[in-house]
A and B are shown apart, each in its own frame.
Chain A
Amino acid sequence: MNGNEIAAKDDALFRSIEYTGKNFYYAVGIFVTVIAFAAFLYLGQIISGLGVTGMAQPVSWGFYIVNFVFFIGISHAGTLISAILRLSKAEWRRPITRMAEVITAIVLAIGGLHPILDLGQPGRIWHLATSGRLQSPLLWDVTSITAYFAASTVYLFLPLIPDIAILRDRGTKPRWLYQFLSWGWQGTPKQHKVLDRTINILMIGVIPIAVSVHTVISYIFAMTVQPGWHSTIFGPYFVVGAIFSGIAALLIVMIVFRRVYHLENYLKEIHFSYLSILLLIMSLLWFYFTFCEYLTTHYGNEPDEMRVFFYKFSGDFAPYFWAMIVCNFIIPVAILSNKKTRKIKGILFASFTVLIGMWLERLIIVVPSLANPRLGYPTGIYIPSITEWALFAGGIAVFMLGFLLFAKFFPLISVWEIQEGRASSIKEVAHRLRSYLPDELEEDDIKKALH
């Protein structure tokens, strides 16, 4: 089959690439402005020192580390969800996986750079190369994030190859880019076999890497002996939180781009409904972990731990803490467990609150433990400065810009997987169903059931 013919049906998916509206330039302009502003303030930070932030003693870590954990958390949406859906042969994954993978690649790059923003001497980063020490949890992070980034870009690229080939065959410009990236794909059965085999290997490999990344990030905190951080539950707690916020981000991105690029035909209510049930489950799971974490602390009643505990429960951080519970648990559960509110608008709202809630959670993990030192110091205060806010906004703008540019060059929905779904998934699923059922189903029965 020729690329042009197969793709004709899915023209809507190429619209964002082949047609550039005014709004595209406006959006790019806005994001670039925000990024430039953030870069300008960052330059100021490099020149005069970290004093321009709100950090001090004892709260020596602030927004940069909070956002580092937050962004890396979001990056778990992608690859992990896409790998799990692929692995479990969920047919409804087809229009979702690509977006999930793109989120991962972009957000991971942003998150991974955050610790550099936080350095007092960023020019000395090469010391990590010459005399880094693997016994420091920071180095565990560097290694695992690099690995995850490498794996997830490959995992994004491989399923993209057939789509790039379609673009090449359509003659989309810049042609050389698509020729270069399509690696001579012609869709021959043997090529399919090679590609499928590799995707399968990667999809299994990428799951433990993703889990390890956020576990290791939690170890930055858990490996110290500080009250509120030194906890064995932190690894899984962070992973659950990461997937939770990741799904929320994915839902938002899906809803927004569905609107912008008119993909209603591909992303249907059912996709959102399924994903939001996943979100609901993660919300419950997250609450369970939070409950475990705080109950053990409270029952143990160790004085230093209790100081941090009450700082969160009824002290300075109480508003954030309770807002987090509302955003992460009460609102999503209320909206998503009810079939009537589990509609696009409700899902969008719940996803936003989850993102806010998860960001608050990261804040609540990082700051209170630092603000309440064990010895008799005054309680620390932390008020983020304009630089920190600007860099936060800049990070978000980089993400949106990156996503927009990706959508400009590559289809946001995997075209060939949709086509493959059309061509063979009904048969495949019928086949699978037959193998589940206790008694032999005849071909006719399936046909009858279908009509």
Chain B
Amino acid sequence: MPRWGMVIDLNTCTGCGECAAACKIENNVAIVGPEESDMGRTMLWMDMLTEYEGEYPDVKIRYIPRPCLHCDDPPCTRVCPVRATYLNDEGIVAQIFPQCIGCRYCMAACPYTVKSFNWYRPEWPDTMESALNPDVSARPAGVVEKCTFCIHRLQKAKEQAAAENRDLRDGDYIPACAEACPTKAITFGDFEDPKTEVSRLRRTARAFRLLEELGTEPKVYYLYEVE
């Protein structure tokens, strides 16, 4: 069984936000109006965190792209009363939209605050309605959603590989954010296989994980910037 994971190089990341935009389009993430946005109801499966380090005037700003970290011991799935979110065999933390009752307990329990909730029925401007990705199911109002590592792409890659009668190769399955990044800062692949690029990168000395001390074992690694 593969264990899918991601490595994001903060040295090459410029904070342009291309990944977040690509994610929104790929996954039919709803676009909320400015008022709602001000209230804090923006929906972003891939968010851009801004961390300030040091004291003025010596501040360093750091941009950190943040998908769901797909924890190997996820606090969010443990609390779900109906198993609408669970860790699947390949290490992806999935959401089952038709199962979710919308209690938002998983949102409260996620230490990384990555989940979004459909406060209203998701809506898009008319011009976009026709451009929705048919591979990703639409969400009703009142359910929680978050990054799925573009799990529909895994499905497609598997079908493709089966059609060509071969195993899945490194690079066959890449989420939209990794594909869109202009500086190739996001690497994606199988952690189980030591020969993949991600496995190599996550073993380098620059690798770290967010809030590692919580023991959630996230499968998204970051690489420190080099001075």
Contacts and interface: CB of A to CB of B under 8 A. Distances in A.
Q: CB atoms of A and B under 8 A apart anywhere in the complex?
A: yes
A139 interface: yes
B209 to A, nearest CB: 12
A373 to B, nearest CB: 4
B119 A51 contact: yes
Given A49-B119, A56-B39, A121-B102, A377 B113 contact: yes
Contacts, number: 142
Given A51-B120, A377-B49, A120 B108 contact: no
A305 to B, nearest CB: 13
Contact of A56 (B41, B79, B99, B210): B41
Given A56-B119, A133-B83, A226-B108, A121 B113 contact: no
Interface in A337-393: 370, 373-378, 380-381
Contacts of A377: 49, 113
Interface in A131-182: 131-133, 135-139, 142
B64 interface: yes
Size class of the B contact interface (CB-based, 8 Å): 35 or more
Interface stretch (A58-66, A235-243, A319-327, A405-413): A58-66
B40 A136 contact: no
Contacts of A51: 36, 41, 119-120, 141
A61 B108 contact: yes
A112 interface: no
A127 B101 contact: yes
Interface in B62-110: 64, 66, 75, 78-84, 99-105, 107-109
Contact of A373 (B75, B113, B116): B113
A133 B86 CA distance: 12
B40 A138 contact: no
Contact of B105 (A121, A138, A142, A380): A138
Interface string B97-138: 001111111011101110111111100000000000000000
A425 interface: no
Main secondary structure of the interface of A (DSSP, over half): loop
A126 B118 CA distance: 20
Contact of B101 (A49, A58, A128, A375): A128
Contacts of B211: 374-375
A375 B102 contact: no
A420 to B, nearest CB: 46
Size class of the A contact interface (CB-based, 8 Å): 35 or more
A56 B144 CA distance: 12
B130 to A, nearest CB: 24
Contacts of A132: 81-82
Contacts of A138: 79, 81, 103, 105
B182 interface: no
A121 B101 contact: yes
A128 B103 CA distance: 11
A56 B49 contact: no
A300 B142 CA distance: 38
B52 interface: yes
A120 B50 contact: no
28 contacts: A48-B120, A56-B39, A56-B119, A57-B40, A121-B101, A121-B142, A121-B143, A124-B82, A124-B100, A125-B101, A128-B101, A133-B81, A135-B78, A138-B105, A142-B81, A223-B79, A225-B75, A225-B109, A226-B109, A226-B111, A373-B113, A374-B211, A375-B112, A376-B50, A376-B64, A378-B40, A381-B39, A381-B40
The 7 closest A-B pairs by CB, nearest first: A120-B102, A120-B142, A51-B119, A56-B40, A49-B141, A373-B113, A51-B120
Interface of A: 48-51, 54-61, 115, 118-122, 124-125, 127-128, 131-133, 135-139, 142, 220, 223-226, 370, 373-378, 380-381
